[in-house]
Amino acid sequence: MFFLSKFCCGQNHTLEEITKSIEVKTNTVIELNATILFFKQKKWDSTLVYSSKIISVCNDLDVLDFCHFFRGYSFLEKKMINESEKEFKSISENFKYNYFSSMLLGEIYIEQRKFLKALNVFEKILLTANKKINKTDNLNRVKNNIGLSYFHLKKYEEAEPYLLSDLMIQESNKDTLNLITANYNLANLYYLQYKDDLAISYFEKAYKLSGNTDDLQAKQDAADNMAVVEENRNNYKKALAYRKEYEQWKDSLSNQNKIYEVAQLEKQFAVKQKQQEVDLLQIENKAKDVERNGLLYSALTLLILLGVTFYFYKEKNKTHKIIVAQKETLDALNATKDKLFSIVSHDLRSSVNALKTSNAKLLSNLEANNLDALDTLLQRNSGIVNGAYNLLDNLLHWALLQTKQSYFYIEPLRLFFITEQVSHNYKPLLEDQGLTFENSVLKTAKILADQESLKIILRNLLDNAIKFSKPNGQIKIYTTVNGGFCNLIVEDTGLGMSAATITTLLQDTPNLAKKENEDIIGTGLGVQLCKSYIQKNNGVFSIESTLGKGTKMIVSLPKTT
């Protein structure tokens, strides 16, 4: 039945003013800024934390007062009344807004039902700070509180003027709720003094006013109060009507609450459903993503697989081609080898056969003591044997060259000595055939070559020159210089050869040249061997020839520098 009235209006203005006045000081203490910010945002806990920091650090009394104020207010908002009281008490007398903090302190005392203390505080505010309180709101509030304090102290006479003035003020303010409260305050005042008529008039006023508001709680309270009033007047019918109205308001209030709750629940449910849908969609999306990624990966894998397969296929084709090419060359080489075999064995067979018949003749001549014939026969035999030996020697070197087993070392060589050494073996043969021989290679001619292969080349060239020479012919060996090369020339005045033969002889193929002069033993192996060795010695082989006049075999080898 007792209503404590508090004013909320005007408070915000005052708070704004307070925070503004302290913002000037934010430069001095860093935490102050945060404190003010949190205070403005009504984050009370944070405000408490930052302000406590400031208190522990700061010495500025002014700032400290503000902090205590912020803390007190925050505690008050958090309904920690005792803490709040302590903080407000800590604020010094000099605090600019002391009246405001004192007012809050007084209200705390009222809350604590320490009405005497509250009254002291409020009266002190009225006495000391009368001039300072520029806000009528706050002044009214203080007066109202004084009235309330007197009321609770049961000093009804003292309370009456304060509460009446409050009612007047509220009427002029046209704040229905506060007006209702003011009416109640007066009604209660008179009621407790048993001035029931006066009290009832205020109650009724309040009840009428409550009809103008939407506040169900106010309507309910008004109806309840009227019910009690009518009950006390023993007007039970009316009391019952008011009681019913009270019930009605109470129900509608609870209904409103229920509807509100149901709406809240429905909302929650709808949100949940939506959330579920969203979740479902998300899951679907994820599944789709996974599916898409899977497809992508499998496509990639397939592509790579295809690439690899293609690569290997190409490689296989390449190797296959190489193998085919190699097979062809090998076949050609094998054919050459077979041909070589047949020619060599044919030549050797005829040589040995000639030797056989010659030996038979030799024996018969020996029996017949025909010594003159022996000499010619032996000469012929040695010629045949020489030819066969050269053939076998070439064959050996050919084999060595093919298998690369032979020692090969290019070094500076004096050409003269090599030609002398090689031609030395042919001296008897040359004499026998009536050929003149001339070695005019300069002693100073030095070339780069492998000695043994150079000897083989020279041997074959001389061999050919003698073989294709006509009786009383001439064979010359000489050198000419051609840039970085030294041309070693073996010249004969023999049968010569056609240009076609030269081209076939100089061809890069390993095919053996056909025999042009059937009656002269030769396989073409010698020339092939020369060509290969000259190439290996970094030289060049060329032939100049005129049919019937003679041939020049030219070996160009690098000179020593």
Partner 1 sequence: MQNINVLVIEDRPEESAPLLDTLTANHYNVIGVARSFKAALELYHNNPVDIAIIDIFLDGNPDGIAFAETINAIPHKAKPFVFLTSSTDRALFERAKLTQPFSYLMKPFNELELLYALEVAVEKFYEQPDVFLGDEEDTIISKDYLFIKKGKALKKVFTKSIIYIEVEEKYCNIFTEEEKFVILISLTKILTLLNDAVFCRTHRNFIVNTEKIEEIIPSDNLILLSGQHKATLSDTYKDILKRIRTLK
* Distance set, CA 545 to CA 160, 168, 462, 468, 501 (Å): 157, 150, 15, 12, 10
Angle of helix 451-467 versus helix 371-403 axis, rounded to 10: 140
Least distance (Å) from partner 1 to the CB of residue 401?
11
Least distance (Å) from partner 1 to the CB of residue 405?
6
Least distance (Å) from partner 1 to the CB of residue 384?
18
Least distance (Å) from partner 1 to the CB of residue 555?
20
Q: Which is nearer to partner 1, 40 or 443 (CB)?
A: 443
Least distance (Å) from partner 1 to the CB of residue 532?
15
Is residue 499 within 8 Å of 409, Cβ to Cβ?
no
Least distance (Å) from partner 1 to the CB of residue 420?
6
Residue 411 is inside which H or E element, if any?
strand 410-414
CA distance 560 to 486: 9
Give me the phi and psi of 497, to 5 degrees please: -150, 165
Hey, what amino acid is at 226? Answer: M
**Can you point out the beta strands (E) in 22-181?**
none
Least distance (Å) from partner 1 to the CB of residue 441?
13
Q: Which is nearer to partner 1, 194 or 409 (CB)?
A: 409
Least distance (Å) from partner 1 to the CB of residue 539?
19
- 317 contacts: CB under 8 Å, gap ≥ 6: none
Q: Residue 42 gets which letter from DSSP?
A: T
Least distance (Å) from partner 1 to the CB of residue 424?
5
Check residue 225 and give left, alpha or beta (phi > 0: left; psi -120 to 50: alpha).
Answer: alpha
Q: Which is nearer to partner 1, 399 or 520 (CB)?
A: 399
Is residue 109 within 8 Å of 118, Cβ to Cβ?
yes
CA distance 293 to 407: 67
Binding residues for partner 1, rule: CB under 8 A, are 400, 404-409, 414, 417, 420-421, 424-425, 443-444, 452, 455
Q: Which is nearer to partner 1, 308 or 396 (CB)?
A: 396
Tell the burial category of 135 from Cβ atoms under 10 Å away from its Cβ (0-12, 13-18, 19+).
middle
Q: Which is nearer to partner 1, 45 or 411 (CB)?
A: 411
- Order of strands across the sheet with 540-546? 436-439, 474-482, 485-492, 550-558, 540-546
Is residue 147 within 8 Å of 169, Cβ to Cβ?
no
- 5 contacts: CB under 8 Å, gap ≥ 6: 144, 148, 166, 178, 181, 182, 184, 185
Q: Which is nearer to partner 1, 180 or 441 (CB)?
A: 441
Tokens (6 digits) for 133: 């309180």
Q: Which is nearer to partner 1, 17 or 452 (CB)?
A: 452
Beta pairing class for 474-482 and 540-546: unpaired
Q: Which is nearer to partner 1, 68 or 459 (CB)?
A: 459
Is residue 109 within 8 Å of 117, Cβ to Cβ?
yes
Least distance (Å) from partner 1 to the CB of residue 407?
4
Q: Which is nearer to partner 1, 412 or 548 (CB)?
A: 412
Check residue 483 and give left, alpha or beta (phi > 0: left; psi -120 to 50: alpha).
Answer: left
Tell the burial category of 353 from Cβ atoms under 10 Å away from its Cβ (0-12, 13-18, 19+).
exposed
Least distance (Å) from partner 1 to the CB of residue 452?
6
Q: Which is nearer to partner 1, 159 or 447 (CB)?
A: 447
CA distance 146 to 220: 28
Q: Which is nearer to partner 1, 41 or 421 (CB)?
A: 421
Is residue 411 within 8 Å of 454, Cβ to Cβ?
no
Least distance (Å) from partner 1 to the CB of residue 423?
9
Least distance (Å) from partner 1 to the CB of residue 459?
12
